[in-house]
Amino acid sequence: MRNGNDRDPENFLWQSFDYPCDTLLPGMKLGRNRVGGLDRYLSSWKSADDPSKGNFTYWIDPSGFPQLLLRNGLAVAFRPGPWNGIRFSGIPQLTNNPVYSYEYVSNEKEIYFIYYLVNSSVIMRLVLTPDGKAQRFTWTDQKNEWTLYSTAQRDQCDNYAICGVNGICKIDQSPNCECMKGFRPMFQSNWDMAYWSDGCVRSTPLDCQKGDGFVKYSGMKLPDTRSSWFNESMNLKECASLCLSNCSCTAYANSDIRGGGSGCLLWFGDLIDIRDFTQNGQEFYVRMAAADLAYMEHNPKGGENNEGQEHLKLPLFDLDTLLNATNNFSNDNKLGEGGFGPVYKGILQEGQEITVKMMSKTSRQGLKEFKNEVESIAKLQHRNLVKLLGCCIHGRERLLIYEHMPNKSLDFFIFDQMRSKVLDWPKRFLIINGIAQGLLYLHRDSRLRIIHRDLKAENILLDNEMIPKISDFGITGSFGGNEIETNTTRVARTLGYMSPEYAREGLYSTKSDVFSFGVLVLEIVSGKRNKGFNHPYHDLSLLGHAWTFFMEDRSSEFIDASMGNTCNLSEVLRSINLGLLCVQRFPEDRPSMHSVVLMLGSEGALPQPKEPYFFTDMNMMEGNSSSGTQSTIRLLEA
């Protein structure tokens, strides 16, 4: 509704874009008009088929330093957090992309978030769903339906204040919650039972007169800013001085992270809703008592106030300890042998079971691979990655010590006619999901962006609950920050899992790991190896066999009969479809691991895969002629 012929949108008397329901379209503002007091916010439907107002709202809260909040009634359910100049602090996945651009405006008149489509042919909407999820959808003409593009909430650590006050949520460790340095659980008995909402209290009370200081945290989601103070013209040094001079100030940070950082953000009282993002997080500084600071300086593992402590120092085991644990590396304790060398089970004096991997004297892998594995795994913490406990270097002997996996590796079960019966479909589906989560962490969320390069059933270990853990990082490729390309003179050769571009040209990327994952999925579903697969009626590989059944709508015949009647047929058929999407010939056709995880967790129709590249073991060997020459590793963005 316009005032006469006035076409300036700022002077419109009324427009529907100012009163969104559950949907934010491109060009709509989410925020507040500070002059007129108009709030533009999303409110969910009551249910998928009931458009009356539901329980959830999504809006920018202007109290303290303004931040985006998602509420369930009056309670905060999810906090995307304050704008840091690039993105909302709690949504690190909000980055520049080819589909849409976005903008955040904050001035004396208004404060709002807005997005625009880069490609006008794309149809997109941001929806607050009845169950409280902030999700983006795009319209797919081929399927005549909305397809999920992204979800703001990704995991348990996105639940508001799950670790209580002064606690940090770390999704890649178990348990997920821990107290900040210098703090302890308010009620230890509750924390022991994984009930963390009481939070943490200081081990030593602050005392301004005795010289408090600050501990630096990096890669974090900033605490709730509703009770904060900010000044956008100050620098970090001025901010630190101001916080130190105010005995009630408990933390400080830059309000804007662009260009090295600017602005000042101060917190007062307890800090709440913090999580560790590892990547794309922010730095902030927490006030500590002088006594705690002194302790951390003498005990580096006790705090994070020294920037040089980012490199984890693993425990060093002496050789005598390992000799005693493995009964002098006896054959009775030998678990197997791989390209790295023999692997042994051991038991330390305190009773802990370990796995010891010894570098073979004739191994084609050298000191470089040993250091690579140690440095890579030491920085990685995820429930679906094997945990490295330490290492041993004694003369020419080099050994790695891992947590012991009592159920050996995945190939021990799925390729054995009798043992495969232990893995019913629910267990196999959990294993598929676990491998996907571990790979997603390696590709996108780890401190170093890791390409595994040798993903196979033998390198998927199973713990006592059959939870899968990816192992063997001796030939990984890691990328830091914006690095997207590196060179290698070695090519891993595990036939049956290698992508066409790697086998033939030595080109490796995250999409090559996706290919290997797709092979694993098809092996888990069928119970048959891709390498050496043979069939009495054709010469196709396992991939070709799966493709033929898929195109003839006979995928149910591809399923491992040893699973019996435990199959959820729709899940199994979706898994076959997903596996074929992952083994498509060209890397750009394969989904990222982020998309794979989304597809595993949804029930919508999957895209139609293109024909995979059928090759045999022999022509893979012939094509892989670059193993003695320099080849290129390329990292494709997930």
**Active-site residue list:** 454
The residue type of 37 is: G
Place of tokens 């957090």: 81
- Written as six digits, the tokens of 60 are 């920018």
Distance CA 383, CA 139 (A): 35
Distance CA 520, CA 579 (A): 8
Distance CA 8, CA 543 (A): 59
| Residue 567 near residue 425, CB atoms below 8 Å | yes
- In the three-class reduction of DSSP (H, G, I as helix; E, B as strand; rest coil), residue 66 is classed as coil
Q: Residue 215: CB partners within 8 Å, gap ≥ 6? A: 180, 181, 182, 285, 286, 288, 293, 296, 303, 304, 305
- Written as six digits, the tokens of 392 are 């041993």
Distance CA 574, CA 543 (A): 15
What DSSP string runs through 464-509? TT--EEE---TT-EEE-TT--EEEES-----TTT--HHHHHH--B-
**Euclidean distance between the first and the last CA atom of the chain, given in angstroms as a whole number:** 44
Q: Give which of 425, 492, 414, 418 is closest to 458, Cα–Cα.
A: 414
| Residue 533 near residue 545, CB atoms below 8 Å | yes
* 601 CB-contact burial (10 Å; exposed 0-12 / middle 13-18 / buried 19+): exposed
> Which CB contacts under 8 angstroms, 24+ apart, belong to 570-574?
570/603, 571/425, 571/429, 572/425, 572/525, 574/599, 574/606
Give φ, ψ of 257 to 5 degrees: -95, 0
